[in-house]
Every structure is written in C-alpha cells, then in structure tokens.
A and B are shown apart, each in its own frame.
Chain A
Amino acid sequence: GQQVMQIPQYQHVQEGEDFTTYCNSSTTLSNIQWYKQRPGGHPVFLIQLVKSGEVKKQKRLTFQFGEAKKNSSLHITATQTTDVGTYFCAGPLMDSNYQLIWGAGTKLIIKP
C-alpha cells in the first residue's frame, strides 16, 4: 500500500548545528504538509508544498518538494532549543480527499 517513509527516526545535534529530515513517498503526492510536535504537545501545522521543485523558507527552516513530487525535506539551520520536538510529514492518500498518510516523524534532540 501507499507509504510515506521518514528518516532519520532521531537526530541528536549540538545547539547551533543544522538538522535535516527527509520524507519519501511510494507514490506521487499532490501536496505535502509538515507538522511539528513539541514534547508533550500536539502536532502544529508548519507549511504545505504543492508545486514540483518548490522551496519555501520560514526563518531558519527551509522546506523542499522534489521535482517528482515523491520526496520532501525540512532543513533547520543553526538549531536552537526551541526547535526541539518531532517533525512529521504527511501527504494525501490516493483516491481520498481527507486522508493523510503520515511519516513516523523525526525527533530532534539537542545535546546538553
């Protein structure tokens, strides 16, 4: 069945280092969404990418959607403690208007 794979599962970084999470879909996606969930919190929408090859920036966060619309990445430059949390990607299930297929998330951990 349709799957969205997200890697890595965890990433430990020193504060100030960069962080990247990758999302790969088994099928072409019409769009992809990214969410952040802080420890003990709930997922919060970050961004949606729709166009092939699209790149969007939010301050230190850069989001990319692949040319084939099957992969995406989130890159954080110079991580800060406020970036700690789990980052999820999600794409629409084929032949569905309301179901999203979710990646398992990448947990960003800042080393003390």
Chain B
Amino acid sequence: ETGVTQTPRHLVMGMTNKKSLKCEQHLGHNAMYWYKQSAKKPLELMFVYNFKEQTENNSVPSRFSPECPNSSHLFLHLHTLQPEDSALYLCASSQDWEENTGELFFGEGSRLTVL
C-alpha cells in the first residue's frame, strides 16, 4: 500500500477508443504527476499539477489530456492513441516540490497496450 492508488492496473485499447486512467492519493500531498515508463528508457515526466494547477506539460501530444479536479485526484484521458503509446503510466505525488526536496510516492501504475 503506497498511499497512491491507480486504476485500472491494465488497459487494452484500440486506436479509436477513448479511455481514462485514474489516480488517487491519500497522503495529503500538494503535487501530483503523470510519468510514462517505456522499456529501456528513463522515466518521462508528462504533466505536473500543484494545488490543482497544471505547472508543466512536457510537450505531450494532445491525445493525452490530464485533469486534476482536486489535490487528491488526477486523471489522464486517452484518445486516438498510437501503438507507440503502449507503456506503463505511473502516477506520483509529493509534498514539498517547491523546495525541490520532496520524494516521489508512486502508484503501482497502469499498464497500457494500444492495438
């Protein structure tokens, strides 16, 4: 139990489908992140939200759309994905990102396969 819960754990979708990934953190943290993890590549930061405000969008294609309705919940809406988008999508949260000292708490990830 990490305090960060992601659903679904596994998702298979076609290129024309619309789906969403959900993340919930029970740690009282202020910052939430979406990361993409592909095989043999460093973790790639996609989006950052701090106090519900998006503070970073790392040139992520518009087929990925984040939503942060409150400090505890984060969504990643998926639409018209490509097979190369297949990866493990990790949600994380942290407390003191402003001071750049906060450790990241990761969820267990959502394994996405795009057919």
Contacts and interface: CB of A to CB of B under 8 A. Distances in A.
Interface residues of A, number: 25
Nearest to A33: B103
Interface stretch (A13-21, A63-71, A73-81, A98-106): A98-106
Interface stretch (B11-19, B60-68, B78-86, B106-114): B106-114
Contacts of B42: 4, 88, 101-105
A100 B97 CA distance: 10
A30 B100 contact: yes
Nearest to B90: A42
B27 interface: no
Nearest to A43: B106
Contact of A98 (B41, B50, B103, B109): B50
Contacts of A48: 101, 103
A97 B98 contact: yes
Interface in A47-94: 48, 50, 88, 90, 92
A100 B48 CA distance: 11
A45 B31 contact: no
Interface of B: 2, 31, 33, 40-43, 45, 48, 50, 55-56, 58, 90, 94, 97-101, 103-109
Interface of A: 4, 9, 30-31, 33, 35, 41-45, 48, 50, 88, 90, 92, 97-105
